[in-house]
Amino acid sequence: MNKKEKKIKIEGDNLELNNEETTQNDADTQAEESNEEEASTEDEQDTVSSAQSEVEQWKDKYIRLVAEFENYKKRTLKEKSELILNGSEKTVAAILPILDDFERAIADKTEDPQAIKEGFELIYKKFLKTLETLGVNKIKTDDADFNVDYHEAIAMVPGMGDDKKGKVIDCVQTGYTLNDKVIRHAKVAVGQ
């Protein structure tokens, strides 16, 4: 029986050792768990702070983008109003030399009607050429078919024959286009 008692004792000692180890293990486990909780809390705080900084960066970018867009709208509105006010500057600058020619013709004291007529014809041709450089062109009406896009019929001329039916017979007022857009329709008489 001595052997059994020793065994029990040894086993009891083992149990006591095991109990001491378990207590020590429990304390170590609790310490590790508290360290893990602290680490996870720190990780969460790091994640939250990084998310907050990213939110701040996006907010800053958004505010800057909105401000930049507002500045763009103001700038384009200002440019548009300047174009409306000063858009005719190119046209006026092109016509001023013709005005100078008219002033010189009026100031000239020549009594020769032929010279005066030639001078005004030269000014007229210069004026037409200037208009063409600005994109203004006459609408052709000579022997043209009547087209409602370019012509305005103010009279119908009967008895002109079948070959003149639907054709422009006479142009009462010349029409003009500006860069292929009609700015004044040609007033015409049309064969019936």
Q: Looking at per-residue confidence, does 15 or 65 come out higher?
A: 65
Bin 33: left if φ > 0, else alpha if -120 < ψ < 50, else beta.
Answer: alpha
Mean pLDDT of the chain: 83
Identify whether residues 166 and 95 lie together within a single domain: no
Confidence (pTM): 0.56
Higher local confidence (pLDDT), 14 or 95? 95
User: What is the model's pLDDT at position 131?
Assistant: 93
The span from the CA of 135 to the CA of 131, in Å, is 6
Q: Which of 87, 117, 148 is at the close of a domain?
A: 87
Partners of residue 67 on adjacent β-strands: none
Of 143, 152, 142, nearest to 183 by C-alpha is 152
Q: Are residues 95 and 105 in the same domain?
A: yes
Question: Do 9 and 47 belong together in one domain?
Answer: yes
Q: How far apart are CA 51 and CA 79, in angstroms?
A: 42
Residues 121 and 141 in one domain: no
Note the pLDDT tens digit of each residue in 123-172: 999 999 999 999 999 999 988 889 999 999 999 988 777 788 888 999 99
CB-CB contact of 131 with 154 (8 Å): no
Question: Residue 38 is part of which domain span?
Answer: 1-87
Domain final residue, candidates 21, 53, 87: 87
If asked whether residues 38 and 83 sit together in one domain, one would say yes
- What is residue 88's predicted lDDT score, i.e. its pLDDT? 84
Structural domains of the chain, count: 3
